[in-house]
């Protein structure tokens, strides 16, 4: 029996030698306790070295890997912030319920590139924080705030803007410029989200900080200028809201503030817009003289600037105020100019409105022909645009004017009651022409 | 207490093995008659550690089941045995933990081994309920210095946790904590950091970012970073730990002072808090003496820590220590001229001093 065994040993073995593996069985038993998972053997006996890190990368969730990586380097503030944000995201998703569109978006935990971006920037920010370099912290947080622009992420962006503001407030060496910029960012975010009061607060702080400071932003305008512009926008929106809820006094107060700021900023465009709104507010209150004053101011500015859209708006407003005043001729003049402007601007809606108003003024005054002219124009425009509401309105007005024009002759015919006249009335009723006589 | 037992006179096939070492047994406990030992040393050790508390409870568990004719009776008996076993597991776990707290690892070993054995009998050799027992054994062995045994137990625990994918976060964080401590002791700092990081992650998931357990994790990480000489990380972590403890203790103190609710810290937390805060205080004082005296925020931290310690001892009921720390804190705060902390410290001191005299004289430690 030993001869075949000897022979076998001299040839190269076909199969792997299982006897030798028995020798190291003791070794393997001892090793397996401690390295059970880190040395899996493949079929041909080669051991592949996979480290514990790689295994945990595969086994754990993405967010856990990122968190653990941050903690291992010692960045525990970044870890806390990331953990907190993930939790809040989940809660927001769950609170929305299946009706909320957030439910169908992938969770932040499942988006590895976003997690990695967060990790990178948060760790850089923490390093800078420990070194006391708050400018860099501010920059990193601002990058993160601008990175999150997807749906359902606006609160993330806002969170980072707030953090940026806090770090900007700790920057001591640049005279508060970063703080001002941070306030401006926050205010713009709030404006986008529609929270006008908060936006107003932050714009006011920005304005206060940037007064009299020679700072310029990327496009070459002074920061003070930007502050004024922002404030005016917020004020006009607030005033619009107040006008809609009929708090006229409040609206006027806000708008006067806005106007003074616009004047200070020395910007014609903003002044023109603010003047328009002031006039409107005064008009609503009933103070027509001041309204007209502001409207004419707005008109002048817009003509100078060549801003035809707002020019048209101004013309319309003046015409309306003149109309309510009773000065119809002037009103008509302005409406004609409005129509001209809208025609050149190809704004069909405005043109249609202008024609309708003029037509109605003329027909109210008794000048049915001219009135008809304009009303026909309005009808044509309504047809081309295809707006059913306008079409019907125009049809009604045209019909009314026709009828009113016909009325005197018709009534004389009926009162005369000669056979000739009656025959004419009957033929007219048969044929239903537009004109009578 | 003990009756002699001759291995030769045991019934055929019945081997009586020692509780502790599993060698043939020569002694029998006369109180319960179901526990055997190889010699008196083992018997005494076991009695001291765990047997004095579980002696009578072992009798129904270890005697073979009586013959019941009805299935209902048999089920009832099984349910009773199961309840007894669960109670034994929890009691032995508690005992082992208590020994480990007091630092007596040698006495903790029999208790932990007993816990493991009962858990194995109840739940099977691969169940997740064995993990706490494994962790206790590992901790005891680390305390005694037998690191290879500890490593073995911990790897068993890890394997069991791996096999149960729906294992709770609480268990996982404990496991990672112990593994981190082991690697820390053996000197493998990277692995220690990884395990501590996992521990903090799971603890934050289970208990929240500001809980004491997470803070404990941060403190352990700080010790590793100190060995690696990364001082700024250490400072940052220590500050975080101090702040969390301060917050937690302030909340408890407020409840205690306003509503006189006797919700004090558990023994575990008190011990841990004491250790952590005294270590931090020593660190601060070392830094204060070594670095320049114009770094004010270090002094702020030491006032902070003294306040924490005062609150801790007053919650634990040891009034003299609380008063001592409170007065020291007040002195520090006045030196640094920080006004935020003066009011709370004053409030605490007045509250302690105005307590009824009977309480201030007896330093009872409430649990």
Which helix (DSSP H) or strand (DSSP E) does residue B4 occupy?
Answer: strand B2-4
Is pLDDT of B358 > 50? no
What is the distance between the alpha carbons of residues B240 and B238, in angstroms, rounded to a whole number? Answer: 5
What six digits make up the tokens of A331? 């009103």
Verdict on whether the full-model pTM lies above 0.90: no
Chain B residue numbers touching A52 (CB-CB < 8 A) = 191, 194
CB contact under 8 A, B209 and A72: no
Residue of chain B with shortest Cα separation from A81 = B209
- Residue A33 contacts B, CB cutoff 8 Å: yes
Task: Report the residue from A34, A71, A80 with minimal CB separation from B197.
Answer: A71
pLDDT digits (tens, 9 = 90+) for B302-336: 778 888 888 888 887 778 888 888 888 888 877 77
Q: How far is A74 from chain B (nearest CA, A)?
A: 6
Q: What is the tally of structural domains in chain B?
A: 2
SS3 state of residue A70: helix
**Residue A274 CA from chain centroid, whole number:** 21
What's the confidence (pLDDT) of residue A5?
A: 46
Q: Up-side HSE of residue A247: CA atoms within 13 Å toward CB?
A: 11
pLDDT at B83 over 80: yes
> Which of B23, B46, B66 is the C-terminal boundary of a domain?
B66
> Is residue B366 predicted with pLDDT exceeding 80?
no
* ipTM at complex level: 0.80
From chain B, pick out residues whose CB is under 8 angstroms from the CB of A56: 194
A122 and A134 in contact (C-beta within 8 Å)? no
Residues from chain B contacting residue A71 (CB–CB below 8 Å)? 193, 196-197, 200-201, 221
Query: How close, in Å, is residue B194 to chain A by CA atoms?
Result: 6
Task: Indicate the residue among B66, B87, B115 that finishes a domain.
Answer: B66
Contacts of B86 (CB under 8 A, 6+ apart): B122
Q: Which residues of B touch A (CB under 8 A)?
A: 151-152, 155-156, 159, 162, 190-191, 193-194, 196-198, 200-201, 204, 209, 218, 221, 225, 230, 232-233, 236-237, 240
On whether the CB atoms of residues A286 and A319 are closer than 8 A, the answer is no
Helices A268-285 and A223-244: angle between axes, nearest 10 degrees:
20
Whether the CB-CB separation of B351 and B257 falls below 8 Å is answered with yes
Which distant-in-sequence residues (6+ apart) come within 8 Å of A43 by Cβ? none
Say how far apart CA A85 and CA A122 lie, in whole Å.
12
Least confident interval from A285-294, B78-87, B143-152, B243-252: A285-294
- Of the candidates B248, B340, B265, the one whose C-alpha atom is nearest the C-alpha of residue B301 is B340
Number of A:B CB contacts under 8 A? 55
Which helix (H) or strand (E) segment is B298 a member of?
helix B296-316
Helix (DSSP H) and strand (DSSP E) numbers for chain B? 15, 3
Lowest mean pLDDT of A349-353, A419-423, B232-236, name the range: A349-353
Predicted confidence (pLDDT) per residue in B14-57, tens digit: 888 888 888 888 999 888 888 999 999 999 999 999 999 898 89
Please name the member of B152, B194, B225 whose beta carbon is closest to the beta carbon of A74.
Answer: B225
- Give the nearest partner residue to B209 out of A34, A80, A130, using CB atoms: A80
Mean pLDDT of chain B: 84
Nearest to B151 among A34, A67, A76 (CB): A34
pLDDT tens string A163-215: 888 888 887 777 677 777 888 888 888 877 777 778 788 878 777 777 767 67
Full domain range(s) for residue B4: 1-66
Any domain includes B309: yes
For residue A28, what pLDDT is reported?
55
Residue in A287, A275, A355 with CA at minimum distance from that of residue A325: A287
**The pLDDT of residue A292:** 76
Which chain B residue has the Cα nearest residue A29? B152
Query: Among B29, B42, B24, B33, which residue's Cα sits nearest to residue B61?
Result: B33
Contact B201 A34 (CB under 8 A): no
Contacts 24+ apart (CB under 8 A), B33-42: B33/B59, B34/B58, B34/B59, B34/B62, B34/B63, B35/B62, B36/B5, B37/B2, B40/B2, B42/B18
Do B236 and A76 make contact, defined as CB atoms within 8 angstroms?
A: yes
DSSP annotation of B187 reads T
- Residue bearing tokens 């005369």: A416
Smallest CA–CA distance from A53 into chain B, residue: B194
Q: What is the pLDDT of residues B265-295, one digit of tens each?
A: 677 777 778 888 888 888 888 777 766 554 4
| pLDDT given for residue B90 in this prediction | 92
Residue in B156, B159, B240 nearest the CB of A76: B240
Give the pLDDT score at A219.
Answer: 67
**Nearest alpha carbon to residue A274 among A290, A258, A253, A291:** A258
Q: Is B62 a member of any domain?
A: yes
Residue B75 has a pLDDT of 95
> Could you give the CA distance from residue B142 to residue A248 in angstroms, rounded to a whole number?
78
Secondary structure percentages of chain A, helix, strand, coil, to 5 = 80, 0, 20
Q: What is the pLDDT of residues A12-63, one digit of tens each?
A: 667 776 776 554 555 555 555 555 554 454 445 456 788 888 888 888 888 8
Beta strands in A205-337 (DSSP E): none
As a whole number of angstroms, the distance between CA A159 and CA A144 comes to 10
Q: Which residue has the tokens 């903090």?
A: B200
Which candidate from A36, A37, A76 shows the least CB-CB separation from B218?
Answer: A76
B182 pLDDT higher than 70: yes
User: Between vectors from CA A70 to CA A64 and to CA A75, what angle results, nearest 5°?
Assistant: 140
Q: Which of B141, B165, B198, B234 to mutate to test the interface with A (most CBs of A within 10 A)?
A: B198
Residue B356 pLDDT = 67
Q: Which residues of B touch A77 (CB under 8 A)?
A: 236, 240
Question: Could you state, in order of their start, the residue ranges of all structural domains in chain A?
Answer: 57-173, 347-437
Q: Write the DSSP assignment of B198-226 as a string of letters.
A: HHHHHHHHHH-TTSHHHHHHHHHHHHHHH
Give the tens place of pLDDT for each residue, B43-52. 999 999 999 9
Distances from the Cα of B265 to the Cαs of B200, B256, B322, B365, in angstroms?
21, 11, 15, 11
- pLDDT over threshold 90, residue B81: yes
Q: Is residue B156 part of a domain?
A: no
B37 φ, ψ (degrees, to nearest 5): -140, 155
What's residue A427's pLDDT? 82
Q: What is the pLDDT of residue B199?
A: 92
| Percent of chain A surpassing pLDDT 90 | 0
Contact B48, B107 (CB under 8 A): yes
């Amino acid at each position: 029996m030993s001869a075949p065994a000897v022979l076998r040993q001299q040839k190269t073995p076909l199969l792997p030698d299982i006897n030798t593996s028995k020798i190291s069985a003791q070794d393997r038993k001892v090793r397996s306790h401690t390295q059970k998972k880190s040395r899996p053997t493949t079929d041909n006996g080669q051991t592949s070295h996979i480290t514990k890190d790689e295994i945990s990368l595969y086994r754990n969730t993405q967010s856990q890997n990122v968190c653990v990586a941050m903690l291992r380097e010692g960045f525990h503030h970044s870890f806390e912030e990331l953990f907190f944000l993930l939790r809040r995201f989940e809660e927001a998703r769950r609170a929305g319920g299946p009706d909320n569109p957030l439910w169908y978006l992938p969770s932040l935990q499942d988006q590895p590139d976003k997690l990695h971006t967060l990790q990178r920037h948060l760790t850089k920010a923490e390093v800078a924080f420990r070194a006391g370099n708050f400018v860099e912290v501010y920059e990193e947080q601002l990058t993160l705030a601008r990175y999150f622009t997807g749906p359902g992420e606006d609160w993330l962006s806002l969170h980072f803007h707030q953090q940026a503001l806090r770090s900007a407030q700790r920057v001591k060496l640049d005279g508060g410029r970063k703080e001002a910029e941070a306030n401006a960012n926050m205010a713009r975010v709030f404006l986008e989200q529609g929270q006008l009061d908060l936006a107003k607060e932050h714009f006011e702080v920005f304005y206060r900080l940037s007064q009299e400071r020679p700072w310029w932003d990327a496009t070459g305008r002074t920061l003070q200028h930007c502050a004024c512009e922002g404030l005016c926008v917020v004020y006009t929106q607030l005033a619009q809201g107040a006008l809609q809820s009929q708090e006229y006094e409040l609206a006027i107060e806000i708008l006067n503030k806005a106007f003074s700021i616009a004047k200070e900023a020395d910007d014609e465009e903003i002044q023109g817009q603010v003047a328009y709104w002031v006039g409107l507010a005064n008009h609503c209150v009933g103070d027509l003289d001041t309204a007209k004053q502001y409207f004419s101011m707005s008109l002048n500015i817009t003509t100078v600037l060549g801003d035809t859209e707002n020019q048209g708006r101004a013309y319309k407003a003046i015409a309306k105020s003149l109309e309510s005043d009773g000065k119809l001729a002037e009103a008509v003049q302005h409406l004609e100019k409005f129509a001209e402007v809208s025609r050149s601007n190809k704004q069909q809606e405005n043109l249609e409105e202008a024609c309708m108003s003029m037509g109605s003024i003329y027909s109210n005054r008794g000048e049915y022909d001219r009135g008809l002219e304009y009303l026909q124009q309005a009808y044509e425009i309504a047809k081309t645009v295809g707006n059913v509401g306008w079409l019907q309105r125009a049809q009604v007005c045209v019909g009314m004017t026709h009828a009113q024009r016909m009325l005197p002759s018709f009534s004389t015919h009926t009162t005369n009651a000669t056979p000739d006249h009656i025959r004419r009335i009957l033929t007219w009723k048969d044929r239903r022409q537009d004109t009578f006589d | 207490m003990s009756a002699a037992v001759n291995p030769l006179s045991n019934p055929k096939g019945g081997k009586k093995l020692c509780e502790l070492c599993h060698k043939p047994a020569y002694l029998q406990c006369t109180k319960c008659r179901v526990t055997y030992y190889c010699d008196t040393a083992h018997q005494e050790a076991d009695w001291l550690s765990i047997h004095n508390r579980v002696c009578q409870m072992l009798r129904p568990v270890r005697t073979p089941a009586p013959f019941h004719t009805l299935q209902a009776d048999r089920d009832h008996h099984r349910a009773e045995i199961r309840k007894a076993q669960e109670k034994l597991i929890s009691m032995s776990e508690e005992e082992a933990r208590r020994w480990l707290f007091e630092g007596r690892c040698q006495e903790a070993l029999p208790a932990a081994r007993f816990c493991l054995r009962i858990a194995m009998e109840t739940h099977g050799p691969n169940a997740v309920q064995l993990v706490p027992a494994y962790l206790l054994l590992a901790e005891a062995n680390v305390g005694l210095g037998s690191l290879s045994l500890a490593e073995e137990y911990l790897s068993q625990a890890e394997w069991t946790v791996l096999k149960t994918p729906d294992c709770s976060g609480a268990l996982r964080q404990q496991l990672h904590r112990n593994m981190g401590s082991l690697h820390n002791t053996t000197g493998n700092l990277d692995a220690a950091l990884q395990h501590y990081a996992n521990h903090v992650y799971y603890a934050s998931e289970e208990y929240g970012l500001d809980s004491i357990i997470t803070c404990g994790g941060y403190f352990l990480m700080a010790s590793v970073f100190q060995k690696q000489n990364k001082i700024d990380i250490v400072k940052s972590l220590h500050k975080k730990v101090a702040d969390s403890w301060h917050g937690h203790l302030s909340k408890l103190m407020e409840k205690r002072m306003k509503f006189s609710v006797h919700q004090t810290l558990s023994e575990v937390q008190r011990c841990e808090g004491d250790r952590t805060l005294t270590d931090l205080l020593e660190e601060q004082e070392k830094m204060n003496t070594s670095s320049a005296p114009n770094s004010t925020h270090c002094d702020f931290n030491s006032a902070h820590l003294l306040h924490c310690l005062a609150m801790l001892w007053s919650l634990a009921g040891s009034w003299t220590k609380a008063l001592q720390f409170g007065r020291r804190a007040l002195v520090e705060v006045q030196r640094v001229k920080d006004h935020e902390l003066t009011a709370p410290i004053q409030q605490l001191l007045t509250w302690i001093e105005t307590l009824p005299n009977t309480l201030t004289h007896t330093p009872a430690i409430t649990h």
